[in-house]
Structure 1
């Protein structure tokens, strides 16, 4: 917890700016300063931007710190190096459990960045970790693990006479990281729902949000869960599929084409393609092709 009763004449505390900056996006700090403390608005602005609680009384700082703990959790060893909000994240626990089940051990962990979700708890996170690899007898400590909540993705399709002729529904959405000819990603409807633990319910909600299509839960076929990019990210994708009727596909093609949740900065546009066209489209990423292939060949 940081309490900065700054006074430019007697306690300027300029080095605190640097110290705070090293922790502001860690997910494990609280910033406090009297309301009239000079030079604190900038720090408070970025604290809020990174989801760090801000208070203007010492009691408020202590209360925010206790709230951040939210009941605490029993941990030992290097597990304690992960801040509690991150430790309570299911993606973190799943990743760590998988490593430990393989006989590996977390030797060090330093959170280098977090990005808060709507509830101000970490949504995206990055941790520089050192892992003792049991099978190799060495410690690997030159990697950063990225994470976010698991995703549910849905393949909505209409079978053709052949696999190549199968009709597929995609969504086009702008992503800053896209390396495509149009700056957009072209992918399956999907995403994460805050506070939703059931991947099937998440899949239904995301399908409705991004395409306008509402389907009975019993129609969703599960294809399991895997990581989409295991070399960099710990999150996983729960893959589902739903076979459309001719009428449903026609309604999607002739109905509203723009969807998404504006409040979340989400704007999706429907796209329709075939499996054959998908394989030759350079703007469709390998993960999307793999998900679709896995679902269609498992029919």
Structure 2
């Protein structure tokens, strides 16, 4: 092959300027860092069954004619986006991720939903590239990200009439939703009942390694539970953050654990503040926690 053949082509076979190939999306370990309420972005994408939160478009990448959208957990048929006839745009955060940066993937879904004809669903979104804006470039980051937890998926059809078949389909989807309650004692803490067992999941705002060290200090000191009848089972790793899972008595409701969860938060803050090296017992506790950590996606 000659030198000319090896040079980057500047035209295609028709003589027109060749299209520049977009670079691959770089991996981002904490894709929602820099967004308000990063922990709730992780929660709505990874651990909540039925929830929504509004966002507002801003900046040079904002789509024309659409000012805001709704971030949701799941949409019907696992659609990545939906543009209702009334102009409402929704995206499903749990529709899957095709790159190493969920922030860029969700931004691509938002743009696709905004560009779709009102009254239509987006069933496929082209993979994001390095040229695709991130959520941090697309939405107003000065406004809080306020998540609403729903008992079911009625938000899919809010304000719309359903026929019998549609209602039956929605009822079937609603039956799959596990009971979930947002707790008040700590940000991004959620009580959930799965089958005959009940848990509290807390999305911690610190980097997962820092959070693991703090939990290890608490566990070694016997301070990692919420009191009698409760225990720290382990943790999820999600989008660069740690999500401890605490099992509580199956017959107790969320309100019964608010005070204990607040005290858990106080102990966690104290453990974070320690600058001492982990002791041998704390290192053993850390290794035990790591062996029980599960990475989501």
| Structure richer in strand, relative to its length | 1
Query: TM-score, normalised on structure 1?
Result: 0.24
Bigger relative contact order (CA 8 A; separation at least 6) = 2
